[in-house]
Amino acid sequence: MKKLIAYFLLSSYALFACQSSEKSGVDSNDELAVESMSRVSIAEIEEGIKQFIADQKEEHGGFFHVKDENHDLKMKLVRVHTEYLSNLGPDSHFACVDLVDEHGDVYDVDFFMEGKPGDMKVRSNSVHKLNGRPFYSWKQNSQDKTWYKVPLKDAGNNLLGVIEGQDSFVFHYTATIPKLSGTAFMWVPLAESDEYQDIKVESIQIPGKHERITDPIFDNRLLFLELGPEDSEKQLEISYSVTRREKGPYPAPFPDSAIHLASNILMPTGGRFEEIARQALGDKIHDSPLVQARALYDYIIDNMRYMKFGNFGKGDSNYACDSKTGNCTEFHSYFISLARSVGIPAKFSIGASIPSDRNEGGIDGYHCWAEFYADGKWWPVDISEANKYTALATYYFGRHPANRVELSRGRDLQVSPGPSSGPINFIAYPYLEIDGKEVKLATRFSFTRRSNG
């Protein structure tokens, strides 16, 4: 196993990977002393990798060539993972980038760079993932704090994103208000305690006028903010102390069919979804709902690819059905549409997945999951994670790990006051409305782990 060495000050220079379950390292030939380094800003690292890719594309007919020991690819840039850009030492940097090839496959590539702003060169790169599925993980040596690659066949569940039992951490939720010229309105989910998570607000900073409101159908709690020009570029900041317990099947009375068997705006039922579900089930249409749900779970894993490309991220079952691609929202929306179409109640939740193999740092956005009802119980599933890590497909049918936090539940959320455009599709990031239209705003999740129970 080839060790990749990076000496760094743990309190200031964390090494991050391209998703919640891996870590980045540096080239094995390069030891880095960081005691007196002058740090390059994250924005400069981002500009450096983008400029390098642009220059290489111009030299090679519009494509960026990626080569490592197993790949020779012609690519185009999709996005830079800004939450994992890192300084590794004086004039040495790490970047993680999504690139798409000629066939539409998305590769996650780790880059190790050197140089100063305006003159950065890539020293080495390696293809980390294909359509969200990793080829390797990273592990830290507990003795000398160095990092090394771990083939996934040798990786434990914690390196694949799973903490069993209990986890405890502080979850930081930060959003920056854009420049405002008039009145704007914003809705923000508030994490709450339940049987599987204990939530305590450690600190909160809220701009503008605000009040707490409730979604009466799913019992979500939200902040409603009225903002003006004086709130431009201010930050909303909430820090939660979270203790979360691993979730398995749990007993419950039969759910409300008007909610959990119903169509949603982007998560319809019946029609082609019933037809597809029945085809996927075949003779299992006569079996128990538990057997049917597993068949639909396997159908999604076998027929969809995890790709953050195209019109993903809305939880649109029709888009998932047509493209057979998407992120967690498409995977679980498609599953819910199929399950409900054959009479299996199912529900949607969203929050964040906390990295299992490091104890602080950024989080790569929201994560969502689903549950279905069978045999007098709600059964948790996480199909997009099972699709990434097939070794855990059995685990994720009936389990959610402890390292996550739930922010809200349900789809088509109706609140008062509510957006002019109608119900909120789902909510993890703040929903900002200006002149009756939704406006995206910069949102960042991060965490600090306290202990593993």
| Domain coordinates in residue numbering, the chain | 3-155, 166-243+429-452, 250-409
| pLDDT of the residue at 103 | 66
Taking only the tens of pLDDT, the chain with its 453 residues reads 333 323 222 223 333 334 333 333 333 333 333 333 456 888 888 889 988 888 888 888 888 888 766 777 888 887 787 767 888 878 888 888 888 777 666 688 888 889 888 888 888 888 887 755 677 777 666 666 566 777 766 656 665 789 999 999 999 999 999 999 999 999 999 999 999 999 999 999 999 999 999 999 999 999 999 999 999 999 999 999 999 999 999 999 999 999 999 999 999 999 999 999 999 999 999 989 998 999 999 999 999 999 888 889 999 999 999 999 999 999 999 999 999 999 999 999 999 999 998 899 999 899 999 999 998 999 999 999 999 888 788 889 999 999 999 999 999 999 999 999 999 999 999 999 999 999 999 999 999 999 654
Architecture of the domain whose range is 250-409 = Roll (3.10)
Quote the distance between the C-alpha of residue 401 and its chain's center.
14
Token pair of 162 as six digits: 């799973």
The identity of residue 55, as a single letter, is D
Unique residue bearing structure tokens 């969200």: 132
Residue 344: count of CB within 10 angstroms of its CB: 22
What's this model's pTM, rounded to 2 decimal places?
0.72
CA–CA distances in Å: residue 71 to residues 1, 124, 266: 20, 14, 38
C-alpha torsion 111→112→115→119, nearest 10: -10
User: Is 11 in a helix, a strand, or coil?
Assistant: coil
- Cα gap 388→397, rounded to integer Å: 14
| pLDDT of the residue at 157 | 66
- Same CATH fold assignment for domains 166-243+429-452 and 250-409: no
| pLDDT of the residue at 69 | 65
- Cα gap 411→320, rounded to integer Å: 16
| pLDDT of the residue at 354 | 96
Closest CA to 434 of 211, 173, 174, 187: 187
User: Is 418 in a helix, a strand, or coil?
Assistant: coil
Residues in the chain: 453
The top-level CATH class assigned to 166-243+429-452 is: mainly beta
Q: Chain-wide mean pLDDT for the chain?
A: 85
User: Is 37 in a helix, a strand, or coil?
Assistant: coil
